[in-house]
A and B are shown apart, each in its own frame.
Chain A
């Protein structure tokens, strides 16, 4: 089953505006909303529900709005494979938090990697130095 949700960005979060089963209609309406400048951002999210796997995949097929790109950066869509539901319900208030969490987690793991490499490098240099000076004391 396929649905095209129009989301509008208002009050700092994405909200479902309307739902279509027709891509052309959804994108046309989103463009119309975009041109009205009524909302800071507008996007169309295509949702595909796979009845076999009971999973929904979502992807943004239209982006508009003056600050929409900025809003998308700060409030991205959740990961692609998710449980049934609506994109904005998952991505509106909860999605951005999860997105931010993912970024923080990624930053943490990068820091840990740098520390680990530094320890290995310093340890290796120490070992080499020790091996260099060790014969003088034996």
Chain B
């Protein structure tokens, strides 16, 4: 997974991106999340400014946890996921995400994030319905309305098809 680059990330980013590792979507989003988090207090969704993270926002989705702890609900889903998901996920529950999709892989560890209360990034691979192998990297970030209790999750992921030879 170390050499992953991704089409989604390349498309909308331009030349202003930092080089190498810092260019990774998950690290850039984590950096943005940290900039909103002061003294270890979890940032709130109100602090997020999509216009300040245009290059990342399309690769993000937001999960609402309040009242849906067991099965969070998608509130916002970035355009980059449309090509990876056969259904519109907005206002749908996590359990409705189709298997073998980027979103499905990305939400597989959200309960670990809720339990630990810290950002977690995972990558891996899955096979699409057409049998094509996909490499992905994702990150799930805890968000809070009061700074302590997790009220939602900011998630991001990107992927690329693996060429198997």
Contacts and interface: CB of A to CB of B under 8 A. Distances in A.
Interface of A: 10, 15-22, 24-25, 28-29, 32, 86
Given A15-B40, A28-B27, A21 B122 contact: yes
Contacts of B22: 28, 32
B26 interface: yes
Contacts of A15: 40
B30 A29 contact: yes
B19 interface: no
Nearest to A33: B34
B21 interface: yes
Interface in B13-67: 21-22, 24, 26-27, 30-31, 40
B27 A24 contact: no
18 contacts: A15-B40, A18-B119, A20-B120, A20-B121, A21-B122, A21-B123, A22-B1, A22-B2, A22-B123, A22-B137, A24-B2, A25-B27, A25-B121, A28-B21, A28-B22, A28-B27, A29-B30, A32-B31
Interface size class of B (residues with CB under 8 A): 20 to 34
Contact of A19 (B2, B31, B118): B118
A132 B79 CA distance: 99
Contact of B121 (A10, A19, A86): A19
B160 to A, nearest CB: 16
Given A10-B40, A18-B121, A25 B24 contact: yes
Contact of A18 (B24, B30, B123): B30
A22 B124 CA distance: 10
Contacts of A28: 21-22, 27
